[in-house]
Amino acid sequence: MNIAITGANGYIGANLVKTCLNAGHEVLAVDINNDYIDNRAKFINANIFNDEGVFDLLDKADALIHLAWRNGFIHNDTSHLDDLDKHYKFLTGMVDRGIKFISALGTMHEVGYHEGAIDENTPCNPLSLYAISKNALRQAILLYVKDKDVNFSWLRGFYIVGDDLRSNSIFGKLLKKSMGGGKREFPLNSGNIKYDFIGIKELCNQIMCATLNADVNGIINICSGKPVSLRERVEQFVKENNLSIKLQYGAFPDRPYDSPIIYGDDKKIKRILGKG
């Protein structure tokens, strides 16, 4: 298949481009920079919000994976609301072009405070501008595609375990801290909260497979389906990467709005991967 990927130069995007290429697909990598994009992909230098010609450039794609999103780690930046209408117009424009397989990356933050497993029917009460915007886009797009001839999937991502310095997650910060000078101490909260952690390679494989399957769509959790404490996963990461760093638990209080346990229900992704 010919797969178009927006935000292809980002951390997830560059890894996903490689995953799709290695699986034998052709890739149209869409971004305004190509510093990290695999040179086997066809790079399309375009701003999807301002370049009306991008629709013609992507017209021959069989599938679209929409990852592009500004300031994803700055959860209360107003750009999330500023860009909401632009994401909607881009995605609906691609639907109207007749692309048969389309997915967009969501986030478990759409749900807000919740204890236990999250599935496609879990009520959402987002608590940041980032989460509010993702949630609104999901609602609007799912309504738009209801009567359209398109296989649309909203891929709800969980906590990524990165394996290089481009990651903005706690794991990327651990790597950077271990390489810096001075004290090799890393402050944390209690570490007792349980999350759903997924490695970047597995995340990209799930995104690709979920997008291209013709049988399961709608909201799909891109997840491990297993709750693991932050303490356990961080210590595993430190050991795996042989990091010389001291973890300081209790340096920060647990936030009152953080659930003690939150993870993805993985039934749908297991069906797609042939594991359910």
| Residue found by looking up tokens 């297993």 in the block | 226
Expressed in percent and rounded to 5, the helix, strand and coil fractions of the chain are 35, 25, 40
In angstroms, rounded to a whole number, what is the distance separating the alpha carbons of residues 265 and 268? 8
In angstroms, rounded to a whole number, what is the distance separating the alpha carbons of residues 116 and 228? 12
The reported pLDDT for the residue numbered 183 is 64
The reported pLDDT for the residue numbered 148 is 96
Task: Going from the first residue of the chain to its last (276 residues), give the mean pLDDT of each consecutive group of 10, the final group possibly shorter.
Answer: 97 97 98 97 95 90 97 93 97 96 97 96 96 98 96 97 80 84 82 96 98 96 98 95 92 86 97 90
The reported pLDDT for the residue numbered 108 is 95
The pTM is what?
0.95
Residue pLDDT, tens place only, 9-45:
999 999 999 999 999 999 999 999 999 999 999 999 9
The reported pLDDT for the residue numbered 193 is 95
Residue pLDDT, tens place only, 212-232:
999 999 999 999 999 999 999
In angstroms, rounded to a whole number, what is the distance separating the alpha carbons of residues 228 and 263? 9
In angstroms, rounded to a whole number, what is the distance separating the alpha carbons of residues 221 and 193? 20
Q: What is the rounded radius of gyration, in angstroms, for the C-alpha atoms of the chain?
A: 19
The reported pLDDT for the residue numbered 275 is 87
The reported pLDDT for the residue numbered 12 is 96
The reported pLDDT for the residue numbered 157 is 97
Question: 237 and 174 in contact (C-beta within 8 Å)?
Answer: yes
Residue 30: enclosing H or E segment and its boundaries? strand 26-31
How many distinct helices (H) and strands (E) make up the chain? 9, 14
Catalytic site residue from 11, 36, 130, 195: 130
- The β-bridge partners of 262 are 116
In angstroms, rounded to a whole number, what is the distance separating the alpha carbons of residues 126 and 112? 4
CATH of 2-160+199-225+264-273 among 3.40.50.720, 3.30.1060.10, 3.40.47.10, 3.20.20.140: 3.40.50.720
* Boundaries of every domain in the chain: 2-160+199-225+264-273, 163-194+227-248
Specify the length of the chain in residues: 276
Taking Cα atoms as reference points, which of 124, 127, 204, 110 lies closest to residue 162?
204
Q: Is 249 a catalytic residue?
A: no
